[in-house]
Chains A and B, each alone.
Chain A
Amino acid sequence: MNQSNTLRINTSTLTKSTETNLLEVKNLKKYYPITSGLLRKEIGQVKAVDDISFTLKDGETLGLVGESGCGKSTAGRTILRLMDPTSGSIHFQGKDITKISGGTLRKVRQDMQMVFQDPYASLNPKMMVGHLVSEPIRNYYPNRKENETRSEVMELLNRVGLSEEAYYKYPHEFSGGQRQRIGIARALALRPKLILADEPVSALDVSVQSQVLNLMQDLQQEFKLSYLFIAHNLSVVKHISDRIGVMYLGRLVEITDKKSLYREPLHPYTQALLSTIPVPDPQARFKKERIILQGDVPSPENPPLGCAFHLRCPYVKPVCEQIKPPLKEVSSGHQVACHLYG
């Protein structure tokens, strides 16, 4: 890729570090204040992300799954510094990016891009596709020649499976799957290291979903990308991820590689989650032992004491109501936050 070399003069200095962890998140917390009254007095907090830690290696895909409101999107956005964390630290390529701002943050952002959930809402309908995709390049390299940028963008559009004519079209002329391809091309424009994909295929039909997933896998190989893949669909996450973290009410309850997560899920929540996914096999409904959880996810405004899952857990013990279980390694690379283990 000649063009990518011309684009990034500073990569060589950055990749020199022997860090294998592209991203290191430690004890990350993001609390939203609940305010009330004329003076907006703080009366409480929503613990959207409550003390999560994980690492993401170079070229790896980490999936974050959980039900709506479990804080997976907030975690992703906080890691990209689209929101400021309440506490904790984020290291990206060995550098602490928790507190940086202004020009330093802007520089780091080149290496971390995002693909959004709704391809209808994330593309400006008044902008030509070519301008949408080239905007990051124009923003970071204002002195690049117009025709260079254009040929670069056209190559990108080709790479994500769109024709060159797409450059002169507008988002409404494309279908959902094609729009998501445009979103991916835009995220790739600066040749980032990390792409945060927040529910990238949940708005798409099954037949189109597989096209986009395959494309993301190909691009990962070609551009040496790492993905932080956020989704609620466990089958999709399993397909694309190397490792998977399961979140429940702002906390990471289990994290491991995908094989052991699906073969021997340890946390009762993970077990329930896996057993309730409908499998496209009519025999499965008689074979499968299903754990149907009772009740709803408690509100993060007022989370229960102790383990957040204890109200719905079939194996609840007295200690679960009192003490929050920390995330512990129970076997190599398999971490779980549950009092049943150790």
Chain B
Amino acid sequence: MHTQKKEALLEISELEAGFMINKQFYNAVDKVSFKVNPGKVICVVGESGCGKSVMSLSIMGLLPKQVGKVARGTIRFQGRNLTEITNDEYNKIRGKEIGMIFQEPMTALNPVFTIGYQLEEVLFNHLKISKKEARQRSIELLSHVGIPRPEKIVDQFPHQLSGGMRQRVMIAMAISCQPKLLIADEPTTALDVTIQAQILELLRDIQEKSGMAVMLITHDLGVVAEMADEVMVMYAGKIVEQGTADQIFNDPKHPYLQLLLEAIPRLDEEKDRLYSIKGIVPSIVNMPKTGCRFVSRCPKAMPDCSEVSPDMGDVGFEHKVRCLLYPESYPKEVTEASR
């Protein structure tokens, strides 16, 4: 990472975000640091409850105010720290500089307004254009995302469209102001496979043509392999491994990732039995305080694993892992103390 010379588009360091539960604060995202470079597709993958959505909501400043907050750390977008700006300033970035696509397109669209109204609203908010221009631009955007008969669809309501079409509308909305970064939180989870393929192809296509960076959040390793340049694997609020798509799939280092890849049934392989990871993800309220968070489920656990909290260690060019099996992951204090 440090070898990168060009300026990162988004730089997150030591981010801690979470929720108040019974008057106590629990971190759902714990000391997460990473960079998103311009024009790259970075995938965040993990199981439910690993903190991937909380992280994307923190970047967008959309954590529910009453219960959730960003506790520590910085989110730098184009050099500006987003944790310090006011809501009004945020509103100028959201939708314009950073676009977002949500998982369930039906709940993300307002059922009582037409598609056109909702698209124009984004345009009016961020650009100085006339009503006529906005409508024209909405129609162009709809045809750009592959919606047939856009001049008709623009006057329809969300319920009149299929799931795949709604997700296309969401994408049109997210890219309407040519954002530098698109955050897509499980954009195809609610869709059928044939529609998923259409949407992923559309996203790739738009990304390549516009050169925006995409942060794709998903639980599906297949989707990751299809889309990612870089991958971050999260487990229980921490990044456990990050690297290029090739490194992640062909040379996984963390036992969790290795086992996860063994546990999914695959079309291109014949297995009698799937590997299954014993146990479940620890819940946010009883996360182990010290040591590795995967220790209770890890077949390679050593005595140190429940004592020493591993750091991210470099195991290859831009390939980092958080696991004590690799000496690089031992925190500096511990290595020095033992000397």
In this assembly, does B76 line the interface, its C-beta being within 8 Å of a C-beta of chain A? no
Cα(A239)–Cα(B271), bound, Å: 7
Assess whether A277 is in contact with B193, with CB atoms less than 8 Å apart: yes
In this assembly, does B122 line the interface, its C-beta being within 8 Å of a C-beta of chain A? no
A151, chain B: closest CB distance, angstroms: 26
Of A211, A272, A280, A285, which contacts B266 at CB under 8 A?
A: A280
Of B192, B219, B268, which contacts A281 at CB under 8 A?
A: B268
Assess whether B263 is in contact with A210, with CB atoms less than 8 Å apart: yes
Measured CB to CB, the nearest residue on chain A to B193 is A276
In this assembly, does B296 line the interface, its C-beta being within 8 Å of a C-beta of chain A? no
Contacts of B281 in A (CB 8 A): 205
Contacts of B219 in A (CB 8 A): 205-206
Task: State whether A278 and B220 are in contact (beta carbons under 8 Å apart), knowing that A214-B273, A296-B164 are contacts in the complex.
Answer: yes
Interface footprint category on A:
35 or more
Contacts of A276 in B (CB 8 A): 193-194, 196-197
Cα(A292)–Cα(B198), bound, Å: 6
Task: State whether A282 and B245 are in contact (beta carbons under 8 Å apart), knowing that A206-B47, A293-B194 are contacts in the complex.
Answer: yes
Assess whether B201 is in contact with A281, with CB atoms less than 8 Å apart: no
Interface footprint category on B:
35 or more
Assess whether B249 is in contact with A206, with CB atoms less than 8 Å apart: no
In this assembly, does B292 line the interface, its C-beta being within 8 Å of a C-beta of chain A? no
Contacts of A282 in B (CB 8 A): 225, 228, 245-246, 249-250
A200, chain B: closest CB distance, angstroms: 13
Assess whether B193 is in contact with A206, with CB atoms less than 8 Å apart: no
Assess whether B225 is in contact with A279, with CB atoms less than 8 Å apart: yes
In this assembly, does A274 line the interface, its C-beta being within 8 Å of a C-beta of chain B? yes
In this assembly, does B110 line the interface, its C-beta being within 8 Å of a C-beta of chain A? no
Cα(A137)–Cα(B6), bound, Å: 68
Task: State whether A273 and B245 are in contact (beta carbons under 8 Å apart), knowing that A177-B280, A207-B259, A278-B223 are contacts in the complex.
Answer: no
The secondary structure that dominates the A interface is helix
In this assembly, does B274 line the interface, its C-beta being within 8 Å of a C-beta of chain A? yes
Binds B, one of A99-107, A123-131, A229-237: A229-237
Chain B, 237-289, CB within 8 A of any chain A CB: 245-246, 249-250, 259-261, 263-268, 271, 273-278, 280-281
Cα(A214)–Cα(B263), bound, Å: 10
Assess whether A209 is in contact with B263, with CB atoms less than 8 Å apart: yes
Contacts of B228 in A (CB 8 A): 282
Q: Which residues of B contact A (CB under 8 A)?
A: 47-48, 162, 164-165, 192-198, 200-201, 219-226, 228, 245-246, 249-250, 259-261, 263-268, 271, 273-278, 280-281
A-B contact pairs, 15 of them (CB 8 A): A177-B280, A206-B260, A208-B280, A217-B273, A274-B267, A276-B196, A278-B196, A279-B222, A279-B267, A279-B268, A280-B224, A280-B264, A281-B225, A282-B246, A282-B249
Q: Which residues of A contact B (CB under 8 A)?
A: 67-68, 175, 177-178, 205-211, 213-214, 217, 232, 234-236, 238-240, 262, 272-274, 276-282, 284-285, 290, 292-294, 296-297
Apart from A209-B263, A278-B196: 19 A-B pairs, beta carbons within 8 A: A67-B194, A206-B260, A207-B47, A210-B274, A213-B274, A234-B267, A239-B274, A240-B265, A276-B194, A278-B220, A279-B222, A279-B266, A279-B267, A279-B268, A280-B266, A281-B225, A282-B245, A282-B250, A296-B195
